[in-house]
Amino acid sequence: MKLTDSIRYLKGIGPKKAILFERLDIKTAEDILFYFPYRYEDRREISKIKDLKEDGIYLIKADIIALGSRYSFKKRFDIVTIVVDDGTGRIDCVWFNQSYLKKSFKIGQRIITYGKLTIFKGKLQFSNPEFELIDNGNDDSLSAGRIVPIYSLTQGLTQRFLRRTIKHTLDKCSFQFRESLPYSLRSKYNLYNSVSSLLNLHYPKDFVSLEQAKRRLSFEEFFIFQVVLLLRKINKKLIKAKPHVVDRDLIKKILRFLPFDLTQSQKQVLGQITGDLRRNSAMYRLLQGDVGSGKTIVAFIAALVAVNSGSQVAFLVPTEILARQHYDKFNNFIKGMLFNKKKVKISILTSSVSNKAMILKKLSAGKIDIIIGTHALLSDDAVFKSLGLVVIDEQHKFGVGQRAFLAKKALNPDVLVMSATPIPRTMALTLYADMDISAIEGFPPGRRPVSTKLFNQDQQNDAYVFIKKELDKGRQAYIVFPAIEDTSSMQIMSAKSMFGELKKNVFNGYRLALLHGRLNNKEQTLIMKKFHNHKIDILVSTTILEVGIDVKNASVMFIEDAHRFGLSQLHQLRGRIGRGVYDSHCLVMGKFDSPISKQRIKAFLENQDGFKIAQIDLEIRGQGDIFGLDQHGILQFKMSDPSKQIDLLRMARQEAVKLLEIDPQLEKKENHIIKNAIIRRYSECVLRQVD
Ligand code: ADP
Ligand code: MG
């Protein structure tokens, strides 16, 4: 039996069982060793029936001495009962609504039951306990008298069968298992070897060994992951790409053109980006910065530099509204600017543009310099003549495949991805280790902090009065709802159903519009245009607002049913206001009953800093989906959780960096075990893959 063999060859597994295992993603002997328990039960102690007490959780081993079942007319289901005896006493075990169990039991059989004791009619009993029958008098030592692993199951597979199969595989194959961490690392960090960690993960000697096993496997996941990402980065830089000519005078000219000065941090980031553009390897850079920190202008200057050097630039954004907004801003911004005596031609490509065929034709003929678009940009008929820079805004809104796809429309174009959901530095350095990272710190000058205030359910009117006061000063407002339409299943207000009421009664005399994702693109565009031009006072909307919208005169936001939003999402929403020179106010209302939602709203009220909010969000809900761990499409952490094991992650990163500094292609003999581990796990191409 080899690790790579199909599980069909394992004892007791035929084609039928193999199909069940496949449902759990287990195809080979090795897969089964990596099918980890999701929890454990301490069943080291076997209790005597005479010692059992109400409410305790016990494991007993006893013989079945009586059995029966009856139908409960009141409850309308079968009740199966057995009486067991272990020599010290007798007790009933009862299962409700599981009539199929009737056939499982025979008098005289030995059984292990595990569960909580309850009292029924003054008598102790196990109700719905876990149980295992001990065949032929053979003690099933895998399920009792030890810390017992609990696996997630699929219908047709039992704990018992899975435990046996895994144990059998461990006994037969674990010695073949190859080490992937060098001895030096294992001894430095006091890590188990791979075989001990696998053995202890399934059948821990004790809880200390279990923790050690988890630690070792987590370290390994982090370490291999880091090495893979760093190798990608190294290898990507080895591939030649066409350098851009960075014209310093041009940049000076652009900066003079701007209605404001770039902040120190923006300048620094721009310097990093132009440094990349100039290099003869492709840029792959992540630009992080809180909402409103001013990422767009930096990306736009980079785009002009690339255009000036003869490239086309693609700007990918997640929504039509954002595409339109960027398009208008960019056009406005370059009005009157000439590049090599020519005007820069900017175009927009979304699913709703009417002259799509023409735009595509111009694009492929090189007659468009900068194209701003939504998913439509990804389609096969969007062909470039000389794509040299790809900018992806709000990158978390796109999948890995989508981001990579755009970059494949040219040979190694420079790629800049932008993210407004900043994550803590250690985390960013590790999770995006294949990229260079820039961050805009702070905000453009003149910003006032947004004051955030919680309104109780009965203060809704106060909130409306407050909004009116701001509107009367000439400001504009957003009112945000979590849903577009009412649904019967959720007790929440929707934008649509509240809109009429708000327009007719509450804000009678003001100009209101309803904006949501189900409006067609023309309608959306029109509404946004009116809002930008202050032809609308209040935008009643959904989370469609979450990304990118930039209207400086809008200074109030009212978020209703705020408990329905995640912390980072609330922060993104709030980022839509406080963009101008006015005092801005975010009003929130919602039901914050659960401890988590209380924590969340408290963090939101007390913090303005997106990095800090991201950190807290991480702590509250674990790794979650903030960074979408499928980012790279190469790894799902099975064992580890980057948000909870920061120290281990940091150590793994340091070691990976050190390793590749000395041996950037893992050519040294002592590093072959690492290389082999990567190949085993991700196939050879990962070592060469560059995108
Ligand atoms: P984000 O990082 O969220 O994409 P934006 O790029 O939309 O932020 O910038 C927010 C606003 O700040 C925009 O209106 C932009 O024009 C303005 N802005 C950017 N940089 C500066 C600056 N250095 N000084 C003043 N305003 C700036
Ligand atoms: Mg932005």
Phi–psi pair at 90, nearest 5 degrees? -125, 150
The pLDDT of residue 585 is 96
Which residue lies with its CA nearest to atom 13 of ligand 1? 294
Three-state DSSP class for residue 384: coil
- Out of 297, 328, 332, mutate this one to test ligand 1's pocket (max ligand atoms within 8 Å of CB): namely 297
Q: Which residues share a beta bridge with 206?
A: none
Work out which ligand 1 atom sits closest to the CA atom of 266: 23
- Out of 257, 269, 293, 296, mutate this one to test ligand 1's pocket (max ligand atoms within 8 Å of CB): namely 296
Q: Which residues share a beta bridge with 57?
A: 116
Contact of 63 with 109, CB cutoff 8 Å: yes
Q: Tokens 């292609």 label which residue?
A: 665
What is the C-alpha to C-alpha distance for residues 191 and 223, in angstroms, rounded to an integer? 13
Token pair, residue 292, equals 């409103």
Helix (H) or strand (E) holding 656: helix 646-662
Q: Tokens 């301490």 label which residue?
A: 42
The pLDDT of residue 136 is 61
The pLDDT of residue 622 is 61
SS3 per-residue string spanning 27-58: CEHHHHHCCCCCEEEEECCCCCHHHCCCCCEE
Global pTM exceeds 0.85: no
Tell me which residues have their CB closer than 6 angstroms to ligand 1.
260-263, 266, 289, 291-297, 420, 444, 550, 579
Residue among 417, 457, 453 nearest 438 (CA): 417
How far, in Å, is the centroid of ligand 1 from the Cα of 495?
Answer: 29
| Interval 185-242: pLDDT, tens | 999 999 999 999 999 999 999 999 999 999 999 999 899 989 988 998 898 888 888 8
What is the C-alpha to C-alpha distance for residues 428 and 356, in angstroms, rounded to an integer? 38
The pLDDT of residue 235 is 87
Domains of the chain, first to last: 1-41+159-176 (no CATH), 45-145 (2.40.50.140), 248-278+293-419 (3.40.50.300), 450-607 (3.40.50.300)
Contact of 626 with 617, CB cutoff 8 Å: yes
Contact of 479 with 539, CB cutoff 8 Å: yes
- Count of CB atoms situated within 10 Å of the CB of 427: 21
CA atoms lying within 13 Å on the CB side of residue 588: 27
The pLDDT of residue 631 is 47
Phi–psi pair at 89, nearest 5 degrees? 175, 180
Query: What is the amino acid identity at position 297?
Result: I
The pLDDT of residue 487 is 62
The pLDDT of residue 104 is 86
- Out of 258, 260, 316, 416, mutate this one to test ligand 1's pocket (max ligand atoms within 8 Å of CB): namely 260
Three-state DSSP class for residue 689: coil
Residue ranges of the chain whose pLDDT lies below 70: 135-141, 338, 340-341, 400, 422, 486-493, 621-636, 683-691
Token pair, residue 567, equals 């912390």
What is the C-alpha to C-alpha distance for residues 443 and 289, in angstroms, rounded to an integer? 9
What is the C-alpha to C-alpha distance for residues 358 and 225, in angstroms, rounded to an integer? 45
Residues in the chain: 691
How far, in Å, is the centroid of ligand 1 from the Cα of 413?
Answer: 26
What is the C-alpha to C-alpha distance for residues 455 and 590, in angstroms, rounded to an integer? 8
